[in-house]
Chains A and B, each alone.
Chain A
């Protein structure tokens, strides 16, 4: 299976700050990476697919970049509803998709 490593595991920020989350794949996955946001007690919500395409209804402050093995999700100006856990997912190996361990974004 393709291993995805997310960093940092935890980041503490204030509203209005810029946040950059990292996802590294154990082998090349082209641009077949998606990002999800999960708030406590809720199901995950798709933010980005194809490494850089925002999903329907996702604000412009979310942007994804990367290809190959290195991927980033940037939130340009954090808002209160953006706190929670962010997961990356690879679907290049579509027979066995895998998720990263997650990055928690909480209040400083």
Chain B
């Protein structure tokens, strides 16, 4: 059974930093691209970033480019999102999501980690 478990959410200050982690199990971790998708309170879904199975190909939404860094540790089946220069509009539930077999849609999602940016 595929499992994705996020951790590291919480309260961050404007201009501050937070790091999210996602522990994965139940699939061949290094074979799949992984993603971060966020959802602001009461709003829709916004793709944030993706990383290929090898870690060599990385993409970001314009809204986070230059501030967020995605990475993965294939030895420990873990995905990360380092967030810097936080803004109020980064407040959201952040989901870790696994690519499907045919790629680029998301066939499994974690339960989400809430990030609140406030002074």
A: residues with CB less than 8 A from B are 32, 34, 36, 43-46, 49-50, 55-56, 87, 89, 91, 94-102
Instruction: Of the listed stretches B11-19, B24-32, B100-108, name the one at the interface; the rest are far from the partner chain.
Output: B100-108
* In the complex with contacts A43-B109, A55-B107, A89-B105, A49-B100 CB distance below 8 A: yes
Considering only CB atoms, which chain B residue lies closest to A50 in the complex?
B102
With A36-B106, A96-B59 known, 15 other A-B pairs at CB within 8 A are A36-B45, A43-B109, A43-B110, A44-B45, A44-B95, A45-B109, A46-B105, A49-B100, A87-B44, A87-B45, A89-B105, A91-B104, A97-B47, A98-B47, A99-B44
In angstroms, how far is the closest chain B Cβ from the Cβ of A21?
Answer: 14
Which B residues touch A102, using CB under 8 A? 44-45
A69 to B106, CA, bound (A): 20
Which B residues touch A44, using CB under 8 A? 45, 95, 106, 109
In angstroms, how far is the closest chain A Cβ from the Cβ of B5?
Answer: 11
How would you classify the secondary structure of chain A's contact residues: helix, strand, loop or mixed?
loop
B: residues with CB less than 8 A from A are 44-47, 50, 59, 61, 95, 100, 102-112
A102 to B39, CA, bound (A): 12
Please determine whether B46 and A99 come into contact, CB atoms closer than 8 angstroms.
Answer: yes
Considering only CB atoms, which chain A residue lies closest to B45 in the complex?
A99
